[in-house]
């Protein structure tokens, strides 16, 4: 088992990023390694991080500005080779159909419920494809 999993959280709002980090914590489940969090507040920072670093999963805030998480999700799903699974933070359950358009792997409504956040993120991390040797 790897020593840690890398999860990127993207939001233009520092409070939202902190809320996700507090909700999920650093250990999602006993069968998963601890989480190393990467925070991005802008689309360019997110794209650089995905290009430069290995990321096991992403949590994207649909309410980010100027680049919202739904559009960002669709962009990275279509442009990033071996795009990590994406958990999309949405404001209302009714936005789930837009999350489907964005190709998100799962959704979570705001405010973030710690149990739901940990369960969704753990499921995405367990289901992700095996990391290729040398990456």
What's the 3-state SS for 67-117?
A: CCHHHHHHHHHHHCCCCCCEEEEECCHHHHHHHHHCCCCEEEECCCCHHHH
Q: Output the pLDDT for position 131.
A: 59
For residue 134, pLDDT over 80 is answered with no
Model confidence over 91-128: pLDDT tens digits? 988 888 888 899 999 999 989 999 999 999 999 999 97
Model confidence over 42-80: pLDDT tens digits? 999 999 999 999 999 999 999 999 999 999 999 999 999
Q: Is the distance from CB of 8 to CB of 49 less than 8 angstroms?
A: yes
Residue 80 structure tokens: 């990033």
Query: How deeply is 83 buried, as exposed, middle or buried, from its count of CB atoms within 10 A (0-12, 13-18, 19+)?
Result: middle
Residue 106 structure tokens: 């799962």
Q: Output the pLDDT for position 97.
A: 82
């Amino acid at each position: 088992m790897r020593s840690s999993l890398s999860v990127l959280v993207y939001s233009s709002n520092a409070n939202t990023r902190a809320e996700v980090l507090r909700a999920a914590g650093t250990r999602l489940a006993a069968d998963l390694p601890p989480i190393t969090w990467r925070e991005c507040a802008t689309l360019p920072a997110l794209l650089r991080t995905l290009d430069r670093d290995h990321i096991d999963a992403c949590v994207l805030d649909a309410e980010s500005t100027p680049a919202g998480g739904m559009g960002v999700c669709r962009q990275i799903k279509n442009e990033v080779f071996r795009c990590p699974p994406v958990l999309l933070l949405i404001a209302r359950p009714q936005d789930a159909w837009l999350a489907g358009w964005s190709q998100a792997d799962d959704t979570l409504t705001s405010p973030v419920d710690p149990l739901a956040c940990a369960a969704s993120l753990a499921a995405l991390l367990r289901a992700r494809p095996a990391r290729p040797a040398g990456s």
